[in-house]
């Protein structure tokens, strides 16, 4: 890094200061880019404009209008989902029919294939989520049954309170915990 140390022998610290400012500015720029890329939400608003934010869109924005989520690659909305205002020609010019005499609103052959692929992907995600939920419920069931078995064993049970002190569970504490565990078992053991 000879450019950083030039003219040091002459007492000229201006070069060092400029280099430091340049490095600081570059690091700041890189940091801003990485923060922007990491936490960017992009969606189409009701007027067809793209909205960029570090916060998620409001609940009124449909799922299909969200173009990018943090940590996910950006997607482009299909032409069919573009708002009508963005597709209108300027002025009062009439819209001409496309060549070939086919109506403009007829779906392209690839649209059905894309729609089916999207539906299949959504169905696969739904099935994967349901399978994961079944595993979680089975684990909750197993743990609640084991806890209830321990609670009903008649042994003296000790727990820790908010102050970190060990306390022995009373009969009413055990009854309350048994009720809670039975509720978990009824919800998760099917």
Within 10 Å of residue 164's Cβ, how many Cβ atoms? 6
- Per residue in 51-66, pLDDT (tens digit) is 888 888 888 888 888 8
Give, to the nearest 10 degrees, the angle between helix 171-188 and helix 109-151. Answer: 150
Decide if 41 contacts 52 (C-beta within 8 A).
yes
Confidence check: pLDDT of 86 > 90: no
Q: Structure tokens of 188?
A: 């998760």
Q: How confident is the model at residue 42 (pLDDT cuts 50, 70, 90)?
A: confident
Measured CA to CA, the distance from residue 179 to residue 81 in angstroms comes to: 51
- Per residue in 128-179, pLDDT (tens digit) is 999 999 999 999 999 999 999 998 998 899 988 889 999 998 999 899 999 9
pTM, two decimals, is 0.39
- Per residue in 96-138, pLDDT (tens digit) is 445 555 555 555 667 888 899 999 999 999 999 999 999 999 9
């Amino acid at each position: 890094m000879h450019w950083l140390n030039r003219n040091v022998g002459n007492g000229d610290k201006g070069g060092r200061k400029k280099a430091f400012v340049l490095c600081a500015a570059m690091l700041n720029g890189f940091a801003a880019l990485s923060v922007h890329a990491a936490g960017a939400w992009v969606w189409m608003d009701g007027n067809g404009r793209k909205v960029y934010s570090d916060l998620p869109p409001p609940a009124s924005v449909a799922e299909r209008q969200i173009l990018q989520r943090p940590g996910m690659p950006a997607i482009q909305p299909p032409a069919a989902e573009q708002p009508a205002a963005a597709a209108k020609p300027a002025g009062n010019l009439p819209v001409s029919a496309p060549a070939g005499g086919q109506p403009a609103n007829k779906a392209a052959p690839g649209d059905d294939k894309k729609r089916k692929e999207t539906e299949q992907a959504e169905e696969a995600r739904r099935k994967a989520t349901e399978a994961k939920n079944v595993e979680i419920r089975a684990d909750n069931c197993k743990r609640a049954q084991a806890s209830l078995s321990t609670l009903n064993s008649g042994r003296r049970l000790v727990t820790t309170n908010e102050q970190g002190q060990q306390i022995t569970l009373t009969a009413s504490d055990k009854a309350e915990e048994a009720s809670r565990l039975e509720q978990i078992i009824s919800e998760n053991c099917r």
